[in-house]
């Protein structure tokens, strides 16, 4: 399968590696000089423009950073959709507003180009192992045509509905994850108040009904640093969830209350960790048995 790949960064580079290893012909476009140098050092086929990247591709895969980059790369006279051949398919991996991928799908349809949004859950390690989770929104028949490419780096690949629904699932997932992290941090604070150390409570709860991927992330990263790790990854997603809820007139209920709490709002989404007053005297160390791959990579 001929693939045009846009955005060979932290997530994109291992994805390209897997695609090439699976026998696909890949042409790569990346803007950052260091990423371009790395691609060329590996002997990858690179392009200078979006048009050169996508014009002969059966499938175009986009793994750029945000809404703005998606629209810049995909829309307009110089965008990928204008240069893609009729019948080709665009796979959009970037976490963004669902309305953005709906806009891409509408623009693509006018040109005979198919679009699926394939929101990701996972990190570079999952890609390297072929175990990236994909929540795919779009036509099931189009998904079937791109599965051979997705199978090179993703499993499971879950069809969750129409275009935009992949993003909606991802955003709900991330909002729930952030709320669970906030609750886990508060649970550690409670344990500290009654004389149980951070490392002891996190090790113990791992074997109880309170265990979760969020709690394991707190254990792996430590309460002191979880805020600085999550803020960059999750604050944008939670903001989009709030915007979507407002547009649809949906009450976020208890989830919204947790996300709007001082702990989550100020110290996880917007700050560089949990201040001393939240965990006075608590240890930030994590036992070796808890040091496993960070679930925050599964975004």
Catalytic positions are 170
**Integer Cα distance of 135 and 116 in angstroms:** 10
Block residue for tokens 């090790």: 203
Please give the torsion angle defined by the CA atoms of residues 269, 273, 275 and 280, in that order, rounded to the nearest 10 degrees.
Answer: 120
Q: What is the signed CA dihedral for 230, 164, 56, 88, rounded to 10 degrees? A: 150
Strand partners, 298: 122
How far is Cα 75 from Cα 83, in angstroms, rounded to an integer? 10
Those residues with Cβ within 8 angstroms of residue 194's Cβ, 6 or more apart along the chain or in another chain: none
State the DSSP code for 209. T
**Phi/psi at 183 (5° precision):** -65, -40
CA-CA distance, 101 to 139, in Å (whole number)? 13
Strand partners, 3: 26, 59
153-159 long-range contacts (CB < 8 A, ≥24 apart) are 153/14, 153/15, 153/18, 153/19, 153/127, 154/118, 154/120, 154/127, 154/130, 155/130, 155/131, 157/118, 158/133, 158/134
The rounded distance, in Å, linking the Cα atoms of 149 and 2 is 9
């Amino acid at each position: 399968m001929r693939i045009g790949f846009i955005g060979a960064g932290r997530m994109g580079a291992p994805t390209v590696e897997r695609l090439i290893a699976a026998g696909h012909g890949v042409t790569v476009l990346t803007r950052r000089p260091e990423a371009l140098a790395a691609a060329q050092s590996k002997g990858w086929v690179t392009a200078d423009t979006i048009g050169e990247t996508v014009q002969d591709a059966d499938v175009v895969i986009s793994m750029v950073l945000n809404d703005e980059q998606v629209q810049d790369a995909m829309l307009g006279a110089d965008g990928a959709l204008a240069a893609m051949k009729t019948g080709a398919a665009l796979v959009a991996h970037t976490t963004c507003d669902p309305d953005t991928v709906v806009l891409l799908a509408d623009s693509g349809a006018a040109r005979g180009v198919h679009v699926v949004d394939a929101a990701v859950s996972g990190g570079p390690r999952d890609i390297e192992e072929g175990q990236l989770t994909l929540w795919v929104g779009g036509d099931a028949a189009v998904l079937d045509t791109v599965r051979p490419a997705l199978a090179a780096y993703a499993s499971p690949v879950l069809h969750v509905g129409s275009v935009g629904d992949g993003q909606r699932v991802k955003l709900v997932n991330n909002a729930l994850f952030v709320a669970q992290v906030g609750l886990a941090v508060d649970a550690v604070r409670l344990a500290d108040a009654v004389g149980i150390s951070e490392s002891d409570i996190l090790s113990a709860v791992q074997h109880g009904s309170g265990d979760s991927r969020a709690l394991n992330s707190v254990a792996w990263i430590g309460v002191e640093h979880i805020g600085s790790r999550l803020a960059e990854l999750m604050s944008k997603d939670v903001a989009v969830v709030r915007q979507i809820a407002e547009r649809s007139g949906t009450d976020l209920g208890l989830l919204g209350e947790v996300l709007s709490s001082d702990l989550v709002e100020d110290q996880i989404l917007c700050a560089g960790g949990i201040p001393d007053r939240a965990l006075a005297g608590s240890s930030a160390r994590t036992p070796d048995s808890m040091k496993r791959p960070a679930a925050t990579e599964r975004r």
